[in-house]
Structure 1
Amino acid sequence: MSHILDIKTGGKSLNEAEKALVMIHGRGGSAQDILSLSQHLNVEGYALLAPQATNGTWYPFSFMAPVEQNEPWLSSAVENVGKTVQTALDAGIKAENIYFFGFSQGACLTLEFLARNAQRFGGAVAIIGGVIGEKINRENYQGDFAKTPVFLGTSNPDFHVPVERVYATANILKEMNADVTEKVYANFGHSINQEEIELANSIVFK
C-alpha cells in the first residue's frame, strides 16, 4: 500500500509566492489542522503546502520500530514529502526558499526527509520528532545543509519521542552543517507551546 498524493494548500498561490512552507501533520491529524497553525507563523506571502496522509497516519508503528515494520508506508510517505517539495520547485521557487514545519509523526517524517536530502533549504521546524528507525542508520543521511536554520522543540519526558533521539537527531543535522537550535521543555506534554512558536518565528521564519 502507498499514500495517495493529496496536497492541501493555503496562503499565496505558487505562481505568486517567492517562498513555500511544507507542513506535515501528525498521526490522526490532518493537513487542514496543520495549515491552521500557519496563522501563528511569520509566513505571510508564502505558499502553504500540506500533504494529507492516507488514512490519517504516515506509517503504522512507532518511529522507533524497525524500519521494515513501517514499510511500505514509510518510503511512500518520504516520497510524498519529496513530491510536495518538487511541486514548489516546479513552480519556480528555489530550494533555499522552501521551508518545513512538522509536528509529532509529521516532525519525524520531516526530519527523515531532510536528513536524506540535505541541501540549503529556507529552514525547518520540527516539534517533538527525530529521525526514524529502531537504530539510526547514519549511512542514509548525506549532503550539506549549508547552514539551513533548524529548530527542534520537544517535551521531556514524551510518551512517543525519547529526548535522546531528539539530541541524536540534532547532532546528525549539525554534522551535516545545519544551524540547529534545540529546546527541551520539562513535562510539557505532547503539544506545541507558545514559546516554540515564537522561537520558530525568530529562528526560522524571520
Structure 2
Amino acid sequence: MPGSPPTSSTFPSSITCTIVPSPKSDPANVLILLHSIGDTQEGFANLAKSLNLPETVCISLCAPKTLPFGLRGYQWSEDVIFQGQDLSLDAKFEKAGSRTLKTVVAKLMAEGWKSREIFFFGWGQGAICVFDYLCREGTDVPQTTPGSEFGGVVSIGGIVGSEVKTVLTDEANKSNTPVLLCGGRNGLVTKKAEDRVKSLFRDVETVKWDRDGDGMMNDAKEATPVMKYKYHPAVNTIPH
C-alpha cells in the first residue's frame, strides 16, 4: 500500500513547498517538482494543478538558496557561477539542493512511501539537482537490488553536472531509475551530455524538440512524450 499523503507538517520548517493533493484520497504516486534557477515553487505548483494527475500527489519544492546581488528567485546550488553575463545552471549541489531532496525523500519513506512510488520532474537547474541527488545518494540500498530504484525522472534541459561525485561508478552500479531526457537544439542536452546520463542510468529515453533551447514544453505536441512516457513496468505511467 502507498504511504500517507504528505502535508505541510510532513517536512521540517526548512523545506518550503506547495503540495497539490491528488483528486483521489488514496494516491498511488508522489511527484516531486523542481523549478529552475531564479524561480520559486509557485510556477510548478500551478503546473501540477493543470496536469491534474488523478493518482498522484505533487510536491512543488522551492530551492533552498536565495540568489545574491539582489537578484530575484532561488537556486538549488551552493554558489553562483557566471558564464559571461549569464548565470550558469551547473554548480555544487551537495549542501543545498541534494540535501533538500535527501530530507524530502527520507520523510516520504518514513511515511510509508516506497522509492518506486516517488517520481521527479525537474527543469533546468532543478533537473541537474535531481541528477546530482540520484548520483550521490540514490536510495539507501544498492542500486542493483530489485525495487531500489525510484519511479522515474523527467528532465527538461537538465544533465549530470560537472561537480557531481557519483557512486554510480560502473556497469554493475548503474541506477535502475528510468529517465526521460528532454531538450531542444543548442541547449545543454548535447550528445555528450546524453551519453553521460546513459553511462550512469540503465533506462534512458531522449526526446529532442525541433527548436532552439531547452525551455519548457511549448505545446501539446512537445508535452505528449512527457505525459505518455512509461517510467517503469511496475508503475506503468504517471496517470493522466
The TM-score normalised by the length of structure 1 is: 0.78
What's the offset of the Cα at 1:63?
4.2
Partner of 1:81: 101
Give unpaired runs (5+ residues) of structure 1: 65-69
Structural mapping, 1:106-145, within 5 Å: 106-116=126-136, 117=138, 119-133=148-162, 139-141=166-168, 143-145=173-175
Instruction: Pick one of 178, 196, 202 that aligns with 1:169.
Output: 196
Runs of 4 or more consecutive aligned structure 1 residues displaced over 6 Å after TM superposition? none
The TM-score normalised by the length of structure 2 is: 0.68
Cα RMSD between the aligned structures?
2.7
SS in 2 for 1:75: coil
Matched, 1:149 2:163: no
CA contact (8 A) 1:153 1:196 kept: no
Higher helix residue share: 1
What's the offset of the Cα at 1:112?
1.5
CA change 1:20–1:181 in 2 (3 A) is: same
Give the aligned residue type for 2:175: F
> What is the aligned length?
189
Structural mapping, 1:1-206, within 5 Å: 4-12=14-22, 16-39=26-49, 41=51, 43-53=53-63, 54-55=65-66, 56-59=74-77, 60-61=80-81, 62-64=88-90, 70-71=91-92, 74-116=94-136, 117=138, 119-133=148-162, 139-141=166-168, 143-146=173-176, 148-158=177-187, 161=188, 163-174=190-201, 177=202, 179-193=203-217, 194=219, 195-203=221-229, 204=231, 205-206=238-239
Give the aligned residue type for 1:126: S
SS in 2 for 1:112: helix
Counterpart CA distance in 1 for 2:75 and 2:129 is 11
Give unpaired runs (5+ residues) of structure 2: 1-13, 67-73, 82-87, 232-237
What's the offset of the Cα at 1:155?
1.4
